[in-house]
């Protein structure tokens, strides 16, 4: 699912680019790869689009896409939706790959491309773990993968962002981690949990041992983004660019073919996470990305504002972060069920069917307690003036109001009254790091 979102994000960010440059490669799939790399799409987008173009050609008996049109495209998408019953995101990714093929690779701006309908996305609430469930899950994950799981929950990073973490992006003095080339090729800064600093130092020391062995053996340096390996030929072999979580085995670079050390694979961590989830007995469809959802939800529960959570998660639009406010409406923050009020009462006129007054015969009659009177909320005169409004800090939404009124009247009697009141609309929340809150350092 993350691959689907990454590929779709590259297309949305790039937009129309006009007529493509003449292809150099002879084979169609190589032309697709060439155009994707020319537009600087991610390697995940390249793999996904090549897969969909290959599937489209094979579905129509190895016919060339130039010989096909709207009918063949709609037939392929209909087969995906009806026969394969793919998700909406997968359907949209396949359509984006075919539009990219005709517009960007073949250079055909056909009118029927814009007439093909896109499936409507459905808003799904993410799975969120409680603090106790996170604690049991992290305890079930064995080292060294436990540190990566704690980083996912303690910083809100995606699994690939944590796997790609380099030594130069860890700042112990400022207690910060720099996420490079996240979703949408954007950089951001997240906090480094103080409770994870000792374990992360040990992991960096272990990575240094691996790096020293590669230097002695003459292994090629790690992968460098863009053309930095040509601009700085020795940077890939330097310690600053080495991975914090290196893979133990060497592998071949899929684009250059160089035999070098890669970072730990996300598939390896996903398998470890699945085994730990089964061992902890958590009956939720959780994935490593669920730790990111839990990070955002627990921060909002602790009192952090939505804009801060948006920046930590790296969302381009706050509406994406707003999905976690819907999760907060569940559980303790939801409306109290009338069934709970029913069981809170004292049974009257017996229990069971056929017993009680005729009006409620067939049901158990309960004497329900009177609903509690809602508390009065006064306007915070100290925070808001008569005409001008002074913004209140989001992290300390505490307002105190004091008012004094004196009145004198003459008639059958004279009376004077004075009153003083203090009200607190919001309590200043105590915000702690999620990893510290679950008690697993």
For residues 99 and 116, give the distance between their C-alpha atoms in angstroms, rounded to a whole number: 10
71 is catalytic: no
Buried b (16+ CB within 10 A) or exposed e, 190-203: bebbeebeebbeeb
Please identify which of the residues 166, 262, 315, 366 carries the catalytic annotation.
Answer: 315
For residues 326 and 172, give the distance between their C-alpha atoms in angstroms, rounded to a whole number: 35
Tokens read off for 113: 């491309």
Tokens read off for 255: 């684009």
Please identify which of the residues 35, 183, 223, 262 carries the catalytic annotation.
Answer: 183
Please identify which of the residues 44, 180, 289, 365 carries the catalytic annotation.
Answer: 289
292 is catalytic: yes
Q: Tell me which H or E stretch contains 177.
A: strand 176-179
Sign of CA dihedral 347, 353, 355, 360: positive
365 is catalytic: no
CA distances in angstroms from 299 to 155, 310, 313, 324, 395, listed in the order given: 11, 11, 11, 10, 12
Q: What is the DSSP letter of 236?
A: G
Please identify which of the residues 33, 136, 146, 158 carries the catalytic annotation.
Answer: 158
Please identify which of the residues 102, 153, 324, 366 carries the catalytic annotation.
Answer: 324
27 is catalytic: no
324 is catalytic: yes
User: Which residues on neighbouring strands pair with residue 409, listed in sequence order?
Assistant: 415
Is residue 384 within 8 A of residue 360, CB to CB? The reply is no
174 is catalytic: no
Q: Which residues contact 183 (CB under 8 A, 6 or more apart)?
A: 5, 6, 9, 158, 314
CA distances in angstroms from 332 to 337, 350, 355, listed in the order given: 11, 32, 35
Please identify which of the residues 292, 293, 298, 366 carries the catalytic annotation.
Answer: 292
Tokens read off for 79: 């087969």
Residues that are catalytic = 158, 183, 289, 292, 315, 324
């Amino acid at each position: 699912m993350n691959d689907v979102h990454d590929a779709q994000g590259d297309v949305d960010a790039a937009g129309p680019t006009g007529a493509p440059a003449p292809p150099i490669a002879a084979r169609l799939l190589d032309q697709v790869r060439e155009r994707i790399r020319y537009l600087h799409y991610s390697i995940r987008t390249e793999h996904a689009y090549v897969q969909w173009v290959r599937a489209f050609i094979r579905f129509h008996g190895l016919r060339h896409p130039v010989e096909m049109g709207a009918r063949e495209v709609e037939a392929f998408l209909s087969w995906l939706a009806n026969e394969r019953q793919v998700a909406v995101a997968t359907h949209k990714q396949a359509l984006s790959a075919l539009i990219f093929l005709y517009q960007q690779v073949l250079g055909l701006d056909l009118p029927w491309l814009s007439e093909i309908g896109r499936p409507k996305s459905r808003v799904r609430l993410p799975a969120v773990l409680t603090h106790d469930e996170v604690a049991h899950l992290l305890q079930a994950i064995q080292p060294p993968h436990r540190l990566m799981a704690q980083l996912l929950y303690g910083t809100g990073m995606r699994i690939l962002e944590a796997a790609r973490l380099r030594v130069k992006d860890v700042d112990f003095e400022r207690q910060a981690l720099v996420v490079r080339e996240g979703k949408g090729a954007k950089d951001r800064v997240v906090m480094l949990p103080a409770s994870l600093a000792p374990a992360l130092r040990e992991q960096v020391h272990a990575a240094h041992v691996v790096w020293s062995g590669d230097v002695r053996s003459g292994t090629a340096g790690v992968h460098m983004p863009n053309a930095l390996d040509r601009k700085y030929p020795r940077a890939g072999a330097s310690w600053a660019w080495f991975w914090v979580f290196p893979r133990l085995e060497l592998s071949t670079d899929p684009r250059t073919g160089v035999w070098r050390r890669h970072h730990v694979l996300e598939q390896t961590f996903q398998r470890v996470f699945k085994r730990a989830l089964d061992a902890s007995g958590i009956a939720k469809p959780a994935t490593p990305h669920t730790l990111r959802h839990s990070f955002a939800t627990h921060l909002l529960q602790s009192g952090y504002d939505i804009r801060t959570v948006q920046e930590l998660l790296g969302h381009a639009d706050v509406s994406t972060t707003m999905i976690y406010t819907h999760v907060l409406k569940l559980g303790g923050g939801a409306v109290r069920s009338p069934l709970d009020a029913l069981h809170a009462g004292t049974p009257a006129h017996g229990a069971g069917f056929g017993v009680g007054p005729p009006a409620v015969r067939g049901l158990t009659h309960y004497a329900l307690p009177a609903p509690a009177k809602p508390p009065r909320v006064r306007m915070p005169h100290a925070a808001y003036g008569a005409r001008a409004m002074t913004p209140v800090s989001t992290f300390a939404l505490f307002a105190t109001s004091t008012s004094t009124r004196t009145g004198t009247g003459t008639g059958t009697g004279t009376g004077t009254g004075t009153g003083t009141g203090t009200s607190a609309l919001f309590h200043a929340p105590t915000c702690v790091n999620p990893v510290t809150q679950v008690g697993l350092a």
